[in-house]
C-alpha cells in the first residue's frame, strides 16, 4: 500500500522557511559514540524488559553496546542548541530525529565533535504530531456473500491451504508469544467485535503512535486493523485468525498524506521498542521505494540489496536480537517499479508475496530477487483476495500483500509456541523448506506457499502435548493457560465425559458433559471469565475419575 524511500544525503540541505505558520523540518542527527550514558551492559533492566533479556538468554545472544540508549548528554545538547522537538531516538544506530520549526537552527550543530552526520529527511508544512488526519483509500474490498466453514468461518480457505489448522488442532494458537505490528492505523480495534477477546483479555501489551507522538493507536484508518485481523480476529463460526491467543504490541509508523524518509526512522524506533518489550515477532505491512517530500526521490534497484536502507538495517538488526522480522513484498509488481519494497529486501527478513487459493501469484505482488541476488519474496500467502475483518461483524474480501504478510506472522507465532529454543533463522528456514516450490523458486513465488504442518515436523520439536492412552487417559494443555484449554480423553468404549472445574474453595465454577466414542476425543470447554489462580479440573468417564490441578494466568 504505502511507498517511500530511504536516501542518505551526503551534504547538509537547508530549506528556507515557507509561508506556512508552523512548518517542521525533520533532521536525522547521528552521534559519534555513546559517551556520557548512564546505563551499563551489566544492568540491562534499565533499558530492556525482563522478557527481552530472557529471549536473548535463551538464544545465547549477548547484550552489547547497540542496546545502550543514546547519550543523554548529547541529547540534552542538541535539544538545547536547536530548540527542536524530539521525534525519536535509535540506540541500535546511535542517532536521533528532531523536528525544527526553523531549519536554520540545525546549523548550531555544525562543528560539534560528537556529531557524526546530519541528514534532512522530512518537511511538514503544518507540522507533525497532529491527531486529525484524512484517511487514504485502502486496498480493494468486496463484500463476501457465500457461506463459511464451521469454526474458522471465512478464514477457512486461507487457513487450510497452509495447514494452519493442524497447529490449532494441537492447541498452538499463539499463546504466550508477543507479535509487534507496525502499520498505519488501528481504528476501531478497541471496539470491533473481532478483537474483543484480545482487548478484554488484556493482550495488547504495548502501543505507540509515531505519527501523533501519543499512545492512541486506535486512529488513522483501518489498514492496521485489517492486518491485525488476520492474526488476532476471533469470532468462532465467523472468522478465526492465525494467532487468536497471542499477545500484541501495536505501533503506528506510517504518516498519512505524504511519503517521507522519516517513516523509515519510525520503523527503526518501533522495532527497537518491540525489542525492548520482548517481542518474538515483528510484522510490517508497509513498504517503500520512493518519497515525495521534501523533494521527489526514488530508490534504484541497486539500493534494495538487503542492507542499505535504514529500514532494511532495522530488520536485520532486529533479527540479530532474536526477533523474527516478517515484511511485505509490496504491491508494485507489473508497475514502473515492479520489485519488492524495503524493508522486504532485508537479508534477514522473511518477505511475503501474495497468491490466490490456486497458488498463482497476484499480478501486482512484488518481484524479486533483491539486488544482491537473494531469493525474495521468501514465501507467499493468500492475499488475492484474503478474508479479513474490520469494524463490522462480518468478514470482507480484500487484496494485497498487506494481508498476506501478517498471516505468516501469526502462523509463525504458533510454530514458536513451545518450550524449545527456536531462533529466527530456524523458523524462517523451516517455513521456506516447507513451501511447495522450494527446489525451484520463482521471482514472484519465492519458495512458494508454505505448509505449517510440514514446517513443524522440520523443526523436530519434541514437546508437543502428548495424546492420552490407556494408562494416562486424560491430558490437559496448555497448563498454565490464559484463555482456553484443550482436554483430550482416551476411551476403549463409548461413554459420557463429565468435566467439572472448581476453585480453591471447592466452589464449582463450570461443568459440562459430552458423549465420547472409542479412541481419542478432544474437548475445548467454554470456561467463563475466570480470575487468575489455581483451579481443580475433575473428569469422569465410565468407571474412571481423575482430578488435575491447573493454573489460570
CA dihedral 340, 344, 348, 354 (to 10 degrees): -80
Q: Which of 111, 83, 118 is nearest to 99 (CA)?
A: 83
Mean pLDDT within 238-257? 96
pLDDT in tens, 348-377: 999 999 999 999 999 999 999 999 999 999
Number of domains making up the chain: 3
- 188 sits in the region (left: phi over 0; alpha: psi -120 to 50; else beta) called left
Which of 435, 459, 483 delimits the end of a domain?
A: 459
Q: Are 285 and 416 in contact (CB under 8 A)?
A: no
Residue 394 shares a structural domain with residue 523: no
Per-residue pLDDT at 141 exceeds 60: no
Any domain includes 144: no
Q: Are 387 and 239 in contact (CB under 8 A)?
A: yes
Helices 262-277 and 50-59 cross at an angle (nearest 10°) of 80
pLDDT band at residue 130, thresholds of 50, 70 and 90? low
Q: How far is CA 444 from each of CA 37, 189, 272, 297, rounded to the nearest angstrom? A: 46, 32, 30, 26
pLDDT cut 70: percent of the chain above it: 90
Is the N-terminal amide bond of 527 cis, ω within 30° of 0? Answer: no
Residue 63 shares a structural domain with residue 176: no
Residue with cell 486424560: 474
How many whole angstroms separate alpha carbon 505 and alpha carbon 92?
51
Judged on CB neighbours under 10 Å (0-12, 13-18, 19+), 553 is exposed
What range does the domain containing 494 cover?
A: 474-552
Q: Are 126 and 22 in contact (CB under 8 A)?
A: yes
pLDDT in tens, 53-88: 989 988 889 999 999 999 999 999 999 999 999 999
Helices 452-459 and 401-415 cross at an angle (nearest 10°) of 40
Alpha carbon 463 to chain centroid, angstroms: 25
pLDDT band at residue 297, thresholds of 50, 70 and 90? confident
Q: What is the DSSP letter of 343?
A: T
Residue 270 shares a structural domain with residue 411: yes
Per-residue pLDDT at 11 exceeds 60: no
Q: What is the pLDDT of residue 367?
A: 98
How many whole angstroms separate alpha carbon 382 and alpha carbon 216?
30
Residue 496 shares a structural domain with residue 349: no
487 phi and psi angles, rounded to 5 deg: -110, 130
How many whole angstroms separate alpha carbon 115 and alpha carbon 118?
8
Q: H-type helices in 352-482, by residue range?
A: 401-415, 424-434, 452-459
Residue 308 shares a structural domain with residue 180: yes
Any domain includes 132: no
Any domain includes 129: no
Judged by DSSP in three states, 160 sits in helix
Q: Which residues are registered as beta bridge partners of 498?
A: 513, 540
Mean pLDDT within 155-173? 93
Any domain includes 383: yes
Alpha carbon 425 to chain centroid, angstroms: 17
Per-residue pLDDT at 18 exceeds 60: no
279 phi and psi angles, rounded to 5 deg: -60, 145
CA dihedral 256, 262, 263, 267 (to 10 degrees): -150
Any domain includes 386: yes
Q: What is the pLDDT of residue 542?
A: 87
| Polymer length in residues for the chain | 553
Mean pLDDT within 523-530? 88
Mean pLDDT within 120-125? 94
How many whole angstroms separate alpha carbon 531 and alpha carbon 11?
59
Q: Are 238 and 393 in contact (CB under 8 A)?
A: yes
Judged on CB neighbours under 10 Å (0-12, 13-18, 19+), 420 is middle
pLDDT in tens, 403-447: 999 999 999 999 998 756 789 999 999 999 999 999 999 999 999
Q: Are 3 and 332 in contact (CB under 8 A)?
A: yes
Helices 401-415 and 223-232 cross at an angle (nearest 10°) of 30
pLDDT in tens, 176-205: 899 999 999 999 999 999 999 999 999 999
Q: pTM score, two decimals?
A: 0.81
How many whole angstroms separate alpha carbon 552 and alpha carbon 481?
5
Residue 419 shares a structural domain with residue 478: no
Residue 485 shares a structural domain with residue 394: no
Strand 178-183 vs strand 281-284: parallel, antiparallel, or unpaired?
parallel
Per-residue pLDDT at 206 exceeds 60: yes
Residue 308 shares a structural domain with residue 160: yes
Any domain includes 453: yes
Helices 310-320 and 262-277 cross at an angle (nearest 10°) of 10
How many whole angstroms separate alpha carbon 314 and alpha carbon 90?
10
Per-residue pLDDT at 486 exceeds 90: no
Burial 157-176 (b: 16+ CB within 10 A, else e): ebbebbbbbbbbebbbbbbb
**Which CATH number does the domain housing residue 331 bear?**
3.40.50.200
pLDDT cut 90: percent of the chain above it: 72
Residue with more model confidence, 170 or 272 = 272
Per-residue three-class SS string for 20-77? CCCCEEEEEEEECCCCCCCCCCCCHHHCCCHHHHHHHHHHCCCCCHHHCCCCHHHHHH
Burial 462-478 (b: 16+ CB within 10 A, else e): eeeeeebeeeebbbbbb
Q: Which of 96, 77, 82, 30 is nearest to 262 (CA)?
A: 96
Residue 291 shares a structural domain with residue 370: yes
Which of 436, 459, 482 delimits the end of a domain?
A: 459
Residue 109 shares a structural domain with residue 174: no
Q: What is the DSSP letter of 308?
A: S
Any domain includes 139: no
Any domain includes 302: yes
Element (DSSP H or E) covering residue 523: strand 519-523
Mean pLDDT within 211-231? 97
Residue 479 shares a structural domain with residue 455: no
**Which CATH number does the domain housing residue 540 bear?**
2.60.40.1930
Listed range (166-175, 291-300, 477-486) with the worst mean pLDDT: 477-486
Which of 459, 494, 518 delimits the end of a domain?
A: 459
How many whole angstroms separate alpha carbon 307 and alpha carbon 292?
23
**Which CATH number does the domain housing residue 62 bear?**
3.30.70.80
Q: What is the pLDDT of residue 462?
A: 56
Residue 307 shares a structural domain with residue 362: yes
Amino acid at each position: 500500500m504505502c511507498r517511500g524511500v530511504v536516501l542518505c544525503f551526503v551534504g547538509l540541505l537547508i530549506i528556507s522557511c515557507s509561508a506556512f505558520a508552523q512548518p517542521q523540518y525533520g533532521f536525522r542527527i547521528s552521534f559519534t559514540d555513546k559517551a556520557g550514558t548512564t546505563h551499563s551492559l551489566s544492568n540491562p533492566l534499565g533499558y530492556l524488559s525482563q522478557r527481552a533479556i530472557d529471549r536473548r538468554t535463551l538464544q545465547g545472544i549477548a547484550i552489547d553496546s547497540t542496546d545502550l540508549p543514546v547519550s543523554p548528554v548529547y541529547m540534552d545538547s542538541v535539544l538545547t542548541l536547536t530548540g527542536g522537538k524530539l521525534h525519536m531516538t535509535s540506540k541500535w544506530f546511535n542517532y536521533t530525529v528532531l523536528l525544527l520549526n526553523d531549519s536554520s537552527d540545525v546549523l548550531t550543530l555544525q562543528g560539534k565533535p560528537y556529531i557524526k552526520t546530519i541528514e534532512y529527511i522530512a518537511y511538514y508544512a503544518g507540522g507533525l504530531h497532529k491527531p486529525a488526519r484524512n484517511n487514504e483509500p485502502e486496498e480493494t474490498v468486496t463484500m463476501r456473500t457465500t457461506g463459511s466453514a464451521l469454526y474458522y468461518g471465512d478464514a477457512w480457505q486461507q487457513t487450510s491451504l497452509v495447514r494452519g489448522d493442524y497447529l490449532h488442532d494441537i492447541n498452538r494458537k499463539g499463546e504466550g508469544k508477543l507479535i509487534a505490528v507496525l502499520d498505519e492505523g488501528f481504528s476501531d480495534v478497541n471496539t470491533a467485535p473481532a478483537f474483543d477477546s484480545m482487548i478484554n483479555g488484556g493482550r495488547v501489551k504495548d502501543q505507540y503512535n509515531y505519527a501523533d507522538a501519543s499512545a492512541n493507536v486506535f486512529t488513522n484508518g483501518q489498514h492496521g486493523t485489517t492486518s491485525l485481523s488476520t492474526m488476532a480476529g476471533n469470532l468462532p463460526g465467523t472468522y478465526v485468525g492465525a494467532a487468536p491467543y497471542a499477545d500484541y504490541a501495536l505501533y503506528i509508523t506510517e504518516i498519512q498524506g505524504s511519503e517521507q524518509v522519516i517513516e523509515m526512522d519510525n520503523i527503526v524506533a518501533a522495532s527497537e521498542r518491540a525489542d525492548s518489550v520482548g517481542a518474538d515477532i515483528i510484522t510490517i505491512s508497509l513498504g517503500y521505494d520512493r518519497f515525495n517530500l521534501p523533494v521527489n526521490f526514488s530508490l534504484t534497484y541497486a539500493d534494495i540489496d538487503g542492507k542499505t536502507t535504514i529500514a532494511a538495517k532495522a530488520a536485520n538488526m532486529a533479527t540479530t536480537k532474536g526477533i523474527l522480522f516478517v515484511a511485505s513484498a509490496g504491491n508494485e509488481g507489473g508497475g514502473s517499479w515492479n520489485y519488492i519494497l524495503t524493508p522486504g529486501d532485508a537479508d534477514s527478513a522473511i518477505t511475503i508475496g501474495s497468491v490466490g487459493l490456486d497458488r498463482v501469484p497476484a499480478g501486482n505482488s512484488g518481484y524479486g530477487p533483491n539486488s544482491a541476488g537473494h531469493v525474495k519474496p521468501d514465501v507467499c500467502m493468500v492475499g488475492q483476495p484474503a478474508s479479513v475483518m474490520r469494524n463490522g461483524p462480518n468478514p470482507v474480501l480484500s487484496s494485497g500483500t498487506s494481508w498476506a504478510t501478517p498471516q505468516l506472522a501469526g502462523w509463525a507465532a504458533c510454530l514458536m509456541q513451545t518450550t524449545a529454543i527456536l531462533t529466527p533463522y530456524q523458523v524462517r528456514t523451516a517455513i521456506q523448506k516447507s513451501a511447495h516450490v522450494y527446489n525451484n523458486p520463482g521471482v514472484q513465488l519465492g519458495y512458494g506457499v508454505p505448509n505449517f504442518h510440514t514446517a513443524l515436523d522440520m523443526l523436530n520439536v519434541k514437546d508437543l502435548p502428548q495424546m492420552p492412552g490407556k494408562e494416562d487417559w486424560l491430558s490437559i494443555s496448555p497448563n498454565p493457560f490464559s484463555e482456553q484449554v484443550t482436554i483430550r480423553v482416551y476411551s476403549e468404549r463409548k461413554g459420557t465425559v463429565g468435566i467439572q472445574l472448581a476453585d480453591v474453595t471447592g466452589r464449582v465454577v463450570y461443568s459440562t458433559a459430552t458423549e465420547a466414542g472409542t479412541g481419542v476425543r478432544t474437548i475445548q470447554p467454554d470456561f467463563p471469565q475466570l480470575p487468575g489462580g489455581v483451579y481443580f479440573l475433575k473428569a469422569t468417564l465410565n468407571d474412571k475419575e481423575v482430578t488435575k490441578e491447573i493454573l489460570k494466568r
